[in-house]
Amino acid sequence: MEFLDPGTTLADDGPAQATAPAEAREHLVVIGNGMAGCRAVEELLARDGTRFRVTIFGAEPHVNYNRIMLSPVLAGEKTFQEIVINDHAWYAQHGIELVAGDPVVAIDRVARTVTARSGRVTGYDKLLIATGSDPFIIPVPGHGLAGVISFRDMADVDAMLAAAGGGGDAVVIGGGLLGLEAAHGLTLRGMKVTVLHLMPTLMERQLDEAAGWLLKSALEARGQTILTGADTAAILGEDKVEGVQLKDGRVIPAKLVVMAVGIRPSVKLAREAGLAVGRGIQVDDHMVTSDADVLAVGECVEHDGQCYGLVAPLWDMCRSLADGLVARANPYRGSVTSTKLKVAGLDVFSAGDFSGGEGCEDIVLRDAARGIYKRVVLKDDRIIGAVLFGDTGDGGWYFDLLKKGEDVAPIRDVLIYGQAFASGGGLADPKAAVAALSDDAEICGCNGVSKGQVVATIAGGACSLDAVRAGCKASASCGSCTGVVEQLLALTLGEDGVQAGPKTMCKCTSYGHDEVRRAIVEQGMRAIPEVMQTLHWSTPDGCSSCRPALNYYLLCALPGEYVDDQQSRYVNERLHANIQKDGTYSVVPRMWGGVTTPAELRAIADVVEKYNAPMVKVTGGQRLDIFGIRKEDLPSVWADLNAAGMVSGHAYAKALRTVKTCVGSEWCRFGTQDSTGLGIKLERGFWGSWMPHKFKMAVSGCPRNCAEATIKDFGVVCVDSGYELHVGGNGGIHVRATDLLVKVATEEEAMHFAAAFVQLYREEARYLERTAPWIERIGLGYVKARVVEDEVGRDALAARFWHSQSFSQDDPWADRVAGADAGLHQPLLAAAE
């Protein structure tokens, strides 16, 4: 690599075109030898090559190079010479003086001079600031240690290459483009790389959750460790980096730490010169600053409140700047941005606003087998955003439609298939494109099914999607061809001839709850975006119906491994409180088996007075409900109740709510067993377990059934010889009495059968399906066969339940009472192990 000594100048060796004497031309001084500064000079030369004599100050000891291509240099795919934009000959050809390795440190606007670090003072007629941006370094302890670097220039690349020479561990902080490129390059250089990203989605500014998850999965498959939601606490080491500690206590070894958490416009020089500065150097539509003789361009500027970090807006700025200097009308009006990148060899594209929201419509195509995800966001029949992963070939077409604001209603149904498909004759009638396919055109790549085979299957009597899947297997595997198969059904039979299939989970998918649950378990899926991609969800992030269900199914399938996604819960579950019609909340602390103490009552009274709760009501579940709590007070309310040993009653949750009891044999003259004691054991053992729907229990001390056990999801009726266990009751709008499951002799057996029944319900019921309709759907005989007659299966179900309870997921406002379930789980946990 060729370096220039600091302060080295490359002067005019004889311009290629006739020009006025140098002293007669205006002097343009450019601060910044990067892509924006040099591009602005190129644009100006193209318009008027004789107007200015140019001096460029560069902080780096290099000619102008393509900073975007630093990643391939790090990865060993290119050399520095291959990424040079303007070589020495270019400067000489245009009579440009390059002062390399000697950055400007001061601007004197009155004297119209700039001062370089070497002390050199240079006068100007026009000044162009193109200082770019500065990397942001997280000010955590240890950030100044040797081995902590950024990723912005060739010096950073050289430092990374030197560190990678001996292999070892590296940590990249930041899961944006630069961070992922640094991680990719270091991995290729033989280092073991861990990427730490604060946000839950990689490249969240360019990608939505689904595409971000695909990117994460692909990078992990290439050997990187990706930790999202990772908050750095400190960088460890004495004189040099030895590791990174996260705020959750984890320590990751590292001899190199690359900070790639973001950039900030480099405005220090402009601010010290007294120019107007906001987030960036403020400019007008021709890149003129608050001083008419000072211009600015690139990442350092702020135009109309916006700062840009992408290349395309920079080029637009440079054109407007050059036109303004030669008195042409081409004002810069801001940029609609798109990003087409190859991240670690993976194609990604995004454009416009893909946040969606009210009034927007998402069109989504997922091809799990090929790792492809496409999403186009429409509003008023016009594209406002797009995200592509794996196949970005149509990105330019989508972006062109977006910029032009074209009405895409005529091609709405084929838009997602791309430009070639949309222009294949189906503009007036979307189905025409499918109808025009030849009989030998492949419809289902997974199973090798042609259009002719699908049509023949339909003609043979298949009148629904499921029937076609059963007949010829089209759409039976990955599902990406489902839309085309449905169009063939409609074309062949007419809209009225197509039979509706079974009820799907929601509008986002063609699969039902049972199919989704089965796929999660069989394919070992571990995240909501993975489920949506694998099963070809038709929306980018799901909806309020499917996200809570998927969150529950993953929680149930992966106890202790899957991290509960709080944003996929209903608001009451997130806040541990029930929202009321006036916007306030009610709070229900748990009272084990309906039994309380003076200390608990005192704690509740204190909360009522402290937070001015207007009502406290005794509930039907034998506890107290505190009404009128403001949302902002909920954390403090729960902190106060927790301090008194009281936890959430889950009165809002798809979980165990209450265990209603009578006083039983301890006090009642009719009581046959200690119903209160068993109720407390049940509640302490089963609380905090998320379920498909709310779940209520009761224990009555005798057949008089004062605790109403025979209208609960799980009820125990105590008799002289033991305990009758009842299931599937419901005391709501449609009252259903329980079915007798089994009679047992001991409390331990009652707990054991309860655990097995609850786990069967957790694993097989559909989300938002209570035990009553579940049992009516599958039959009591099935439940008895699994829980009563199959002893080995019963033990396995119970063991899985207690295992999941050992990882009970609860939020910080309602921590599990230490030792509350001590001794209940251990025997079956040991058996499970």
Q: How far apart are CA 556 and CA 574, in angstroms?
A: 18
- Residue list, annotated binding site for siroheme: 706
- Residue list, annotated binding site: 662, 668, 702, 706
Burial class (CB in 10 A: 0-12, 13-18, 19+), 168: middle
Q: Taking the CA atoms of the chain, what radius of gyration do you get in angstroms? A: 34
The 3-state DSSP class for residue 458 equals helix
Q: Which residues, 6 or more positions from 419, have their beta carbon under 8 angstroms from its beta carbon?
A: 394, 397
User: Which residues share a beta bridge with 256?
Assistant: 170
Phi first, then psi: what are they for 491, rounded to 5°?
A: -65, -35
Q: How far apart are CA 552 and CA 692, in angstroms?
A: 7
Pick the closest to residue 520 from 545, 544, 555, 563 (CA basis): 555
Contact 394, 418 (CB under 8 A): yes
DSSP string, 35-47: HHHHHHHHHHHHH
- Exposure string of 755-776, with b = 16+ CB inside 10 Å and e = fewer, is bbbbbbbbbbbbbeebbbbbbe
C-alpha dist (Å) from residue 559 to 249, 473, 796, 800, 805: 21, 34, 15, 9, 8
Pair of tokens at residue 768: 């938002």
Q: What is the 3-state secondary structure (H, E, C) of 717-756?
A: EEECCEEEEEECCECCCCCECCEEEEEECCHHHHHHHHHH
Pair of tokens at residue 370: 């090929």
Q: Sign of dihedral through CA atoms 352, 354, 356, 362?
A: positive
C-alpha dist (Å) from residue 270 to 277, 294, 695, 821: 7, 10, 64, 64
- Residue list, annotated binding site for [4Fe-4S] cluster: 662, 668, 702, 706
Q: How far apart are CA 507 and CA 489, in angstroms?
A: 19
Q: Which helix (H) or strand (E) holds 642?
A: helix 634-643
Q: How far apart are CA 186 and CA 626, in angstroms?
A: 56
Helix count and strand count (H, E) for the chain? 26, 39
Pick the closest to residue 549 from 568, 575, 567 (CA basis): 568
Q: Give CA angle at 288 (285, 291), nearest 5°.
A: 145
